[in-house]
């Protein structure tokens, strides 16, 4: 089997009002990823747009790509960025492509908002008729209910949620690229923020972002001849939750796609949770950090709240989480910025937020009603 590696990463600035089209944002990010890899853009022959990004045809025509052997998109929301590594691997292993770009460009703040994209999700007709009349119409409300269920079953508290939010904001102060850089937050600020959907207040919710991000993937063997040390994709897994288009009748609200995807990723990589040096968690909301820590095996179910309260997810903790600030404080690139941070950490390029002694980094994805994905990245073993 051909091992795959990430050889180039690129992104634009992250902002609320970019003044640029999604097309321009995506193309700038792709060009920067290609430059980072030391390649010419004409070598790209596999194109994987993240959900709600510009179509592959825009990339092909703007860069005048001579040959494209793969053009495909996973429709699993925030699980797509990590899940797309599996698409790239399949194309590379079957020799359909040599260099695959995974990218996103979006005006998530100044353009189309999340509430406008709900109608594109599976099972929308059911929700429109039976849930929206009772005020349960957005991901914020669905995930707030999942959080409340966990609180009732396991004693998870608002203070646990606050600790996640405060940690992500603290981490962003070491990242000049983050939207929340230069905007520290106190516990008082957190509790004073507006209630959005109980128990979620404003700072329990991820950012809405204008920006672009891209990564270049190729075979591990080919990667060794390029400009920078490659980052090897050791394992990945993708899975839907139980009843992927319906939450209200799900037998177990604590079982999510990651519950099955994480063991698949560990098995492929030949490691376990104890081998992971740092974790990039898809932090769409504060509770989802807690839930994914549990379902990915870093603590037992119901133990996620005390785990984050112990300081374990801070930069100097047992398992540093999102040193860039994550979706809560860096920006919302549908998780692709998490992969970029993992690559830069493993290369040793993160200056003031650089973590020491890294070997394996885990990256999770969360989409729709709990679609899950996980990738395990490792440093290349060459000297």
The reported pLDDT for the residue numbered 116 is 53
The reported pLDDT for the residue numbered 250 is 87
Question: Is the model's pLDDT at 382 over the cut of 70?
Answer: no
Question: Is the model's pLDDT at 77 over the cut of 80?
Answer: yes
CB 371 within 8 A of CB 124: no
Other CB atoms closer than 10 Å to residue 120's CB: what's the count?
12
> CB-side exposure of 362: number of CA atoms within 13 Å?
33
The reported pLDDT for the residue numbered 30 is 98
Span 192-241, pLDDT tens digits: 999 999 999 999 999 999 999 999 999 999 998 898 989 999 999 999 99
Torsion angle, alpha carbons of 171, 175, 177, 183, to 10: 60
- pLDDT band of 119, cuts 50, 70, 90: low
- pLDDT band of 369, cuts 50, 70, 90: confident
Span 95-116, pLDDT tens digits: 999 999 999 999 986 656 555 5
Span 142-165, pLDDT tens digits: 899 999 999 999 999 999 999 999
Two structure tokens written together for 42: 């004409």
Span 266-285, pLDDT tens digits: 999 999 999 999 999 999 99
The reported pLDDT for the residue numbered 117 is 55
Contacts of 360 by beta carbon, 8 Å cutoff, 6+ apart? 234, 269, 271, 275, 276, 277, 376, 377, 378
Over residues 356-369, mean pLDDT: 95
Over residues 73-90, mean pLDDT: 95
Q: Which CATH number fits domain 4-111+207-379: 3.40.47.10, 3.40.225.10, 3.40.50.1100, 1.10.10.10?
A: 3.40.47.10
Report strand pairing: 46-49 vs 100-107.
parallel
The rounded distance, in Å, linking the Cα atoms of 91 and 102 is: 13
Contacts of 288 by beta carbon, 8 Å cutoff, 6+ apart? 143, 281, 282, 366
Q: pLDDT > 70: what percent of the chain?
A: 94
The reported pLDDT for the residue numbered 115 is 53
Centroid of chain to Cα 151: 24
Domain range summary for the chain, segments of one domain joined by +: 4-111+207-379
Model-wide pTM > 0.75:
yes
Two structure tokens written together for 24: 């321009």
The rounded distance, in Å, linking the Cα atoms of 92 and 58 is: 22
Question: Is the model's pLDDT at 383 over the cut of 50?
Answer: no
- pLDDT band of 338, cuts 50, 70, 90: very high
- pLDDT band of 380, cuts 50, 70, 90: confident
Beta bridge partners of 211: 106
The reported pLDDT for the residue numbered 130 is 72
Mean pLDDT of the chain: 93
Other CB atoms closer than 10 Å to residue 351's CB: what's the count?
10
Question: Is the model's pLDDT at 132 over the cut of 80?
Answer: no
Over residues 64-92, mean pLDDT: 95
The reported pLDDT for the residue numbered 133 is 76
Other CB atoms closer than 10 Å to residue 116's CB: what's the count?
9
């Amino acid at each position: 089997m051909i091992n795959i590696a990430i050889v180039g990463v690129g992104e634009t600035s992250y902002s609320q009002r970019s003044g640029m089209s999604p097309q321009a944002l995506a193309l700038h990010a792709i060009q920067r990823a290609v430059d980072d890899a030391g390649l010419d853009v004409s070598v790209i022959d596999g194109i994987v747009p993240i959900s709600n990004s510009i179509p592959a045809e825009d990339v092909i025509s703007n860069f005048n790509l001579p040959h494209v052997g793969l053009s495909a998109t996973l429709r699993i929301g925030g699980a797509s960025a990590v899940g797309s590594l599996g698409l790239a691997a399949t194309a590379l292993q079957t020799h359909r492509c040599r260099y695959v770009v995974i990218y996103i460009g979006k005006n998530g703040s100044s353009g189309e908002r999340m509430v406008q994209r709900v109608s594109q999700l599976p099972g929308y007709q059911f929700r429109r008729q039976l849930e929206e009349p009772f005020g349960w119409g957005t991901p914020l409300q669905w995930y707030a209910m999942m959080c409340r269920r966990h609180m009732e079953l396991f004693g998870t508290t608002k203070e646990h949620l606050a600790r996640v939010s405060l940690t992500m904001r603290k981490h962003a102060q070491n990242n000049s690229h983050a939207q929340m850089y230069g905007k520290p937050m106190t516990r008082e600020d957190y509790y004073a923020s507006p209630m959005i959907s109980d128990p979620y207040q404003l700072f329990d919710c991820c950012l809405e972002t204008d920006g672009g991000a891209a990564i270049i993937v190729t075979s591990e063997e080919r990667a060794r001849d390029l400009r920078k040390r490659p980052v090897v994709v050791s394992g990945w897994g993708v899975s839907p939750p139980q009843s992927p288009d319906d939450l209200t009748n799900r037998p177990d609200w604590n079982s999510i796609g990651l519950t099955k995807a994480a063991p698949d990723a560990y098995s492929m990589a030949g490691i376990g949770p104890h081998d992971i040096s740092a974790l990039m968690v898809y932090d769409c909301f504060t509770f989802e950090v807690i839930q994914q820590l549990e379902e990915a095996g870093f603590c037992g179910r119901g133990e996620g709240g005390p785990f984050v309260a112990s300081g374990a997810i801070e930069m100097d903790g047992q398992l540093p989480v999102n040193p860039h600030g994550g979706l809560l404080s860096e920006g919302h690139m549908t998780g692709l910025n998490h992969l970029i941070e993992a690559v830069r950490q493993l290369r040793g390029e993160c200056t003031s937020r650089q973590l020491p002694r890294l070997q394996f980094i885990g990256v999770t994805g969360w989409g729709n009603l709990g679609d899950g994905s996980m990738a395990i990245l490792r440093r290349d073993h060459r000297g």
